[in-house]
């Protein structure tokens, strides 16, 4: 059989795998599909009526969409925390789970693209950035670099995951020249994708809240804290609801990573707070607004203090021996994921606009329509991960293979 017929047959069979499962699986997929459609409906409303359906304004032109984008880029980059020990240090227990970390990266990157599309307002105008028919503006535009690294990282991970699963489905050994070079490139690319996203903010000199050299290290520290925490939670669901075995050694290895990165992230945040508040210049106003409110405007205060509490509590739990127990480790991971989601999202993006460059105090609060769009994108992300995991798990277990269908 020619290779393209084999591959087409693989795609068709993989598609139908997602229509087989128990009642719990169907209920989960139906629930996510409904939420995704609700989000799509909200996005269509935004497309028809414009950005007036959001809480964004001329002074605050980035909001909840970009807040989720910056967070999810970090989740995508965190897959490297499985790749490095698995491929560079040959940790055998990680080989069987590294694929699910890369699937999480693919899912996070797809969500990043959707959040950018939602933030564009008119996504049909994105062609202005395309080479040849538009103007890509490389190398001068950081936005163009960000588009390049995000989509490049998505394609690299898609190749690694797709090739690995297809070869295992066929029962053939992996060609190291088709896999290892891409893995090593993706390790450097993971750092680049988050660094470039940070540079996108750092380069805006008129926004003192972002215009700091420490922002890129903060991005990486938060990514390597929230990412492994998110991966631990995802692995727990895989262990609980499927027959794929993920050992506690993997969980304890990831625990060691977040034991280091969570305190580093908190330290960098505290350093930034000290620099802003101790200097007490007019450039300190965004940080004051974030933490305490400014001249009666305090929309972000209820967001940031719970996030700080969550991060500190997670750090304390991780330092205690009880975090070796999966229950307490899960609590620490949930607190880390939520805390950094706020700190790196709403706690980073919005304060950069308040006060405005003209000194205006215009607050931002996401509207109900925005929340529905965000809910829809997250539901789509969980749906995409569920679909890919549903195919990957039986292939990795050896229960879904080509020879069962007469392919040699």
CA angle 370, 374, 377 (to 5 degrees): 140
- Helix 98-120 to helix 368-397 angle (10° resolution) is 160
Q: Which two tokens stand for residue 339?
A: 């805390």
- pTM for the model stands at 0.93
Chain-centroid distance, C-alpha 22? 29
CA distance 369 to 48: 13
Residue 173 banded pLDDT, cuts 50, 70, 90: confident
What are the C-alpha distances in Å from 173 to residues 3, 23, 45, 60, 166? Answer: 16, 35, 49, 53, 10
Residue 153, CB-side half-sphere exposure with 13 Å CA sphere: 37
pLDDT tens for 267-287 read 999 999 999 999 888 889 999
197-220 pLDDT tens trace: 999 999 888 899 999 999 999 999
222-262: pLDDT as tens digits: 999 999 999 999 999 999 888 888 888 999 999 999 999 99
Checking if the pLDDT of 404 tops 90, the result is: no
Q: What is the pLDDT of residue 408?
A: 46
CATH number for 22-405: choose from 1.10.3210.10, 2.30.30.20, 3.40.47.10, 1.20.1630.10: 1.20.1630.10
CA distance 268 to 221: 8
Q: What are the residues whose beta carbons fall under 8 Å from the beta carbon of 82, sequence distance 6 or more? A: 94, 97, 98, 101, 102, 231
Locate the domains of the chain by residue range.
22-405
Residue 89: exposure state from Cβ atoms within 10 A (0-12, 13-18, ≥19): exposed
User: Is the bond into 355 cis (omega within 30 degrees of 0)?
Assistant: yes
The Cβ-side half-sphere exposure at 322, using a 13 Å CA radius, reads 9
Q: Which residue has the tokens 């500190």?
A: 312
Grade residue 15 by pLDDT with cuts at 50, 70 and 90: confident
Predicted local distance difference test score (pLDDT) of residue 266: 96
């Amino acid at each position: 059989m020619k290779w393209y017929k084999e591959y087409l047959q693989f795609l068709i069979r993989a598609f139908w795998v997602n229509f087989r499962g128990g009642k719990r699986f169907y209920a989960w997929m139906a629930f996510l599909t409904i939420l995704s459609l609700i989000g799509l409906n909200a996005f269509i409303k935004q497309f028809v009526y414009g950005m007036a359906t959001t809480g964004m304004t001329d002074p605050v032109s980035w909001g909840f969409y970009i807040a989720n984008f910056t967070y999810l880029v970090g989740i995508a980059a965190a897959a490297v925390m499985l790749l490095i020990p698995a491929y560079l240090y040959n940790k055998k227990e990680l080989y069987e789970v590294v694929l699910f970390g890369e699937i999480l990266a693919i899912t996070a990157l797809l969500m990043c693209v959707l959040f950018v599309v939602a933030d564009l307002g008119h996504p049909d105008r994105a062609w202005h950035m395309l080479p040849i028919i538009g103007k890509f503006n490389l190398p001068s535009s950081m936005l163009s670099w960000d588009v390049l690294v995000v989509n490049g990282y998505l394609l690299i991970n898609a190749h690694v995951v797709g090739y690995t699963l297809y070869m295992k489905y066929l029962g053939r050994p992996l060609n190291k020249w088709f896999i290892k070079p891409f893995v090593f490139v993706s390790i450097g690319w993971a750092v680049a994708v988050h660094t470039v996203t940070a540079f996108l903010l750092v380069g805006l000199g008129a926004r003192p809240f972002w215009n700091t050299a420490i922002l890129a290290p903060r991005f990486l520290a938060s990514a390597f804290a929230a990412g492994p925490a998110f991966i631990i939670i995802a692995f727990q669901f895989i262990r609980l609801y499927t027959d794929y075995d993920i050992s506690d050694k993997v969980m304890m290895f990831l625990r060691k990573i977040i034991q280091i990165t969570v305190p580093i992230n908190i330290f960098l945040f505290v350093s930034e707070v000290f620099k802003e508040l101790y200097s007490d210049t007019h450039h300190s106003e965004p940080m004051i607004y974030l933490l305490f409110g400014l001249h009666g405007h305090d929309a972000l205060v209820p967001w940031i203090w719970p996030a700080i509490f969550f991060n500190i509590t997670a750090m304390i739990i991780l330092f205690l021996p009880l975090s070796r127990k999966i229950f307490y480790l899960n609590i620490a991971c949930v607190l880390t994921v939520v805390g950094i989601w706020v700190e790196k999202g709403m706690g980073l993006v919005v304060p950069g606009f308040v006060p405005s460059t003209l000194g205006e105090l215009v607050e931002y609060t996401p509207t109900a329509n925005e929340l529905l769009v965000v809910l829809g994108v997250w539901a789509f992300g969980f749906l995409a991960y569920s679909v890919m995991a549903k195919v990957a798990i039986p292939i990795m277990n050896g229960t879904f293979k080509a020879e069962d269908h007469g392919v040699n």
